[in-house]
């Protein structure tokens, strides 16, 4: 639904070039909630602003719903009209809501429809329908100043939906909100995604946001995407930074001469019989340091941190046994000397 290839953005600021996007290849599938996470300055806002061409990319292409937006930009009046029409099908939600304070809630939602040239009756019907959808039917005649932050963001979302978009872009939509309100806004985005089949690309610096609503995620660093995939794929990727952050388990080794492993399983699989088989087969004592079962991006995931006596070199065979059972095994803390030598 959204594809970028080699997307690059260089800002020229006070005679100095700042590369905010450095060849980003992003692929967001139709109907999914895709989260882009990264630290401040990683290029997240630049990415989202280039996706709807609020910002003109320096190089690369952006395709939304099969239409190459970058090809339309700057190609004369006809292409300009096409680009505007394409952009009206991309809704955008902002961190600070960007509502007009002099207009009522309803008039704020009607604004994009005015720009699209809809008639008064049509606008009013649509705005009330959308306000109902976001749970604010009774606030149509209020002004933004009379609303809470969460309510303002609901208005922002209703306005973003006015052009019947297929894609919703959200730049830190919840970072000005408290945790409870954040959850309710995320639930709303998730419901809209399901009810309307809306594809959502959201930008955040909070892992909890990714964890609670995203089907897929990408990690951005210095203008590049360094990890990306469905939540299931990420959790199944050994050494994935995103996976570790999405689903941490605690527990420290009880001594130097120990091997600590994170065992991850998805869905119905359970580790319990495997662990007791391991213990019996190799006659070793296994300690469980930590364990958790959680729902990440709608997937049931379990992770257990276990400790085996001896260093990694002494446990190559038992670790191999666990991997053969189809479990994902990540070595924690210790430098896997054998693995390194093997890789040379």
Ligand X SMILES: Nc1ncnc2c1ncn2[C@@H]1O[C@H](COP(=O)(O)OP(=O)(O)OP(=O)(O)O)[C@@H](O)[C@H]1O
CB under 8 Å to 145, separation ≥6 — which residues? 101
Residue 96: CB atoms within 10 A of its CB come to 14
CA-to-CA distance for 218 and 216, rounded, in angstroms?
A: 7
Per CB under 5 A, residues contacting Mg ion are 45
End-to-end CA distance of the chain: 41
Establish if 15 lies at the interface with ligand X (CB under 6 A). Answer: no
Establish if 41 lies at the interface with ligand X (CB under 6 A). Answer: yes
Backbone angles phi, psi at 59, to 5 degrees: -155, 165
List the beta strands (DSSP E) in 72-192: 90-93, 167-171
Q: Which is nearer to ligand X, 17 or 268 (CB)?
A: 17
Establish if 193 lies at the interface with ligand X (CB under 6 A). Answer: no
Considering only the stretches 39-47, 112-120, 180-188, 294-302, report the one whose residues sit in contact with ligand X under the rule CB under 6 A. 39-47
Residues 231-290 that bind ligand X (CB under 6 A): none
Q: Measured from the CB of residue 288, what is the shortest distance to ligand X in angstroms? A: 38
Question: Exactly one of 35, 38, 57, 165 binds ligand X (CB under 6 A); which one?
Answer: 38
Establish if 35 lies at the interface with ligand X (CB under 6 A). Answer: no
Considering only the stretches 10-18, 113-121, 149-157, 331-339, report the one whose residues sit in contact with ligand X under the rule CB under 6 A. 10-18
* DSSP sequence for 220-234: EETTEEEEEEEHHHH
CA 112 to chain centre: 26
Considering only the stretches 42-50, 73-81, 239-247, 256-264, report the one whose residues sit in contact with ligand X under the rule CB under 6 A. 42-50
101 binds, among ligand X, Mg ion, none (CB under 5 to 8 A by kind): none
The CA distances from residue 91 to 188, 214, 231, 297, in Å, are 15, 18, 24, 23
Q: Measured from the CB of residue 7, what is the shortest distance to Mg ion in angstroms? A: 16
Helix (H, G, I), strand (E, B) or coil at 269: coil
Q: Which is nearer to ligand X, 13 or 195 (CB)?
A: 13
Q: Measured from the CB of residue 43, what is the shortest distance to ligand X in angstroms? A: 4
Give the residues across from 220 on adjacent strands.
Answer: 38, 225
Q: Which is nearer to ligand X, 18 or 111 (CB)?
A: 18
Q: Which is nearer to Mg ion, 45 or 259 (CB)?
A: 45
Considering only the stretches 11-19, 56-64, 157-165, 291-299, report the one whose residues sit in contact with ligand X under the rule CB under 6 A. 11-19
Q: Measured from the CB of residue 37, what is the shortest distance to ligand X in angstroms? A: 10
Q: Measured from the CB of residue 42, what is the shortest distance to ligand X in angstroms? A: 4
CA-to-CA distance for 68 and 73, rounded, in angstroms?
A: 9
Residues 201-230 that bind ligand X (CB under 6 A): 205
The answer to whether the beta carbons of residues 44 and 38 sit under 8 Å apart is yes
Question: Exactly one of 15, 17, 40, 283 binds ligand X (CB under 6 A); which one?
Answer: 40
CB under 8 Å to 139, separation ≥6 — which residues? 105, 131, 146, 147, 151, 155
Contacts with ligand X, residue ranges (CB under 6 A): 11, 13, 18, 20, 38, 40-46, 205
């Amino acid at each position: 639904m959204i594809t970028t290839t080699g997307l690059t953005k260089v800002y020229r600021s006070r005679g100095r070039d700042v590369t905010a996007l450095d060849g980003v290849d992003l692929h967001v599938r139709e109907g999914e909630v895709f989260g882009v996470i990264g630290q401040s300055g990683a290029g997240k806002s630049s990415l989202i602003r280039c996706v709807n061409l609020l910002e003109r990319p320096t190089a690369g292409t952006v395709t939304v719903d099969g239409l190459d937006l970058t090809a339309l930009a700057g190609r004369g009046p006809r292409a300009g009209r096409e680009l505007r029409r394409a952009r009206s099908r991309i809704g955008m939600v902002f961190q600070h809501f960007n509502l007009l304070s002099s207009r009522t809630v309803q008039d704020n939602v009607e604004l994009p429809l005015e720009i699209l040239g809809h008639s008064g009756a049509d606008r009013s019907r649509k705005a009330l329908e959308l306000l109902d959808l976001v749970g604010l039917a009774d606030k149509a005649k209020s002004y933004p100043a009379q609303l809470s932050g969460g309510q303002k963001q609901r208005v922002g979302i209703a306005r973003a939906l006015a052009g019947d978009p297929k894609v919703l872009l959200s730049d830190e939509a919840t970072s000005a909100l408290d945790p409870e309100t954040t959850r309710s806004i995320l639930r709303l985005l998730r419901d809209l995604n399901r009810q309307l089949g809306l594809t959502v690309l959201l930008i955040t610096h909070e892992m909890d946001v990714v964890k609670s609503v995203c089907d897929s995620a990408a990690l951005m660093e210095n203008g590049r995407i360094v990890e990306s995939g469905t939540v299931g794929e990420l959790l199944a990727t050994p050494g994935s930074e995103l996976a570790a952050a999405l689903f941490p388990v605690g527990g420290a080794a009880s001594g130097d001469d120990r091997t600590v492993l994170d065992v991850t399983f998805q869905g119905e699989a359970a580790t319990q019989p495997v662990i007791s088989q391991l213990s019996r087969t190799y006659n070793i004592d296994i300690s469980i340091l930590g364990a958790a079962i959680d729902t990440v991006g709608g997937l049931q995931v379990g992770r257990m941190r276990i400790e085996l006596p001896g260093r990694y070199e002494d446990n190559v065979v038992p670790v191999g046994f666990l991997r053969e059972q189809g479990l994902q095994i990540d070595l924690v803390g210790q430098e896997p000397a054998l693995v390194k030598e093997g890789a040379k």
